[in-house]
Amino acid sequence: MFTTGQLIFAAFFIIVFTVIMVYAYRKDLKLHKRHYKGSLRVLLVFILFIITIVVIKKFIVS
C-alpha cells in the first residue's frame, strides 16, 4: 500500500512534529497556566456530558 520511502517519511514526520509540539508547549507553559486557568474543568465537564449522552442513547432510547 505504501512504499518504504513514504513509511520512512511518515515516521520521521511524526517524530519531528511531536518533538516540536512538546518543545513549544514547554516553552509556553507559564503562559498556559496563567491564561487558561480552569480549562481542565471545562474539558472534564465536556467529556462527562458526552458520556452522559452516550449512556442515555444506549439505555433509554433503545
The answer to whether the Cα torsion of 57, 58, 59, 62 is positive or negative is positive
SS3 58: helix
Distance CA(34)–CA(54), nearest Å, equals 34
pTM, to two decimals: 0.53
Instruction: Convert the pLDDT of each residue in 47-59 to its tens digit.
Output: 999 999 999 998 8
Tell me the pLDDT band of 35, cut-offs 50, 70 and 90. Answer: confident
Q: What residue spans define the domains of the chain?
A: 4-61
Summarised one tens digit per residue, pLDDT across range 4-33 is: 999 999 999 999 999 999 999 999 888 888
Residue 38 to residue 45: CA distance in whole angstroms: 11
